[in-house]
Amino acid sequence: MKWQGRRGSDNIEDRRRSGGGTMRVGGAGGLGLLAVVVIGYFLGFDVTPLLNGMDQGSGPVVQSSGELSEEDRQMGDFVSVTLADTEEVWTDIFQDQLGRTYHPATLVLYSQVTQSPCGSASGATGPFYCPNDKKVYLDTDFFTTLSRQLGAGGDFAAAYVVAHEIGHHVQDELGILEKVNAIRARSSEAESNALSVRIELQADCFAGIWARHAAEQFGSIEAGDIAEAMNAAEKIGDDTLQRNAGRRPMPDSFTHGTSEQRQSWFATGFRSGDLKSCDTFSARKL
């Protein structure tokens, strides 16, 4: 992916230098939280709804600090450029396809732990979008885990992750996220999980749309980049994550979709470049 020397986004909130990342341990917000995020991270579960319901007010505070390494600085620059690309692409798409104005998300970079209105975040949660403040939360160490532990290396695999989370912001901008989460709140666990899968697959499709337009607008995509994104989608499918964790895949517990589904919907967005192609909620077969 060609990204060096290009414009970065102004919508980056970098908490890595300030030592502002904090998390309370102990009580409902501590060991219970750590157990939830570790399970969620390795099995591919969306832990944000669980974080929302946990008490963040008890237990001692652990605070992260320290100077940024050159690798950390470079990864921050990479994320900033990728975010800027999403802003330009979605601004144009909203205007051309919807006649609307796109309002960009803020992306929070943090190290180890930080707070959000959706609850505490740690490296174990993986990146997530919080609709309460319209921010994406990302510990860039996740990219190292993605590459070394999950076998999804490459800069475009990391860009896919950013684009997927921004896809959730696009859903929020379109009013989709609020409506679907309201339905999930009054549904059974199995029904809620099924809706979560459709949310996540649509975000994958939106990431594919971004990739298509980034290739056309910036010429930033190189040979092998799409293969990196497809490999990342395969490695973080629910069935693959559960199987690699030594569990038999349980479809009722899926919250993000199978590897095949995630690859398919990313490819759908990339081929079409059109929002209408990403209607996972009307699709009979995912």
The tens digit of pLDDT for each residue in 189-234 reads 999 999 999 999 999 999 999 999 999 988 878 888 888 888 888 8
pLDDT (tens digit per residue) in 30-61: 333 333 333 344 444 444 443 333 333 333 33
Distance (Å, whole) CA 208 – CA 267: 6
At 149 the pLDDT is: 76
Number of structural domains found in the chain? 1
Residue 159 located in a structural domain: yes
The answer to whether 166 touches 128, Cβ cutoff 8 Å, is no
Q: Specify the higher pLDDT residue, 42 or 276.
A: 276
Q: Count the neighbouring beta carbons within 10 Å of the beta carbon of residue 24.
A: 21
Spatial neighbors of 93 by CB under 8 A, at least 6 apart, are: 102, 209, 213, 275
Residue 213 located in a structural domain: yes
pLDDT (tens digit per residue) in 128-146: 999 999 999 998 888 888 7
Residue 60 located in a structural domain: yes
Residue 236 located in a structural domain: yes
Residue 26 located in a structural domain: yes
What residues make up the domain containing 251? 12-278
Q: Is the pTM of this model over 0.75?
A: yes
Could you give the C-alpha distances from 246 to 38, 42, 238, 242, in angstroms and in order? 15, 11, 12, 7
Mean pLDDT of the chain: 82
Residue 4 located in a structural domain: no
pLDDT (tens digit per residue) in 52-106: 333 333 333 334 445 778 888 888 898 999 999 999 999 999 999 999 999 999 9
At 66 the pLDDT is: 59
Residue 109 located in a structural domain: yes
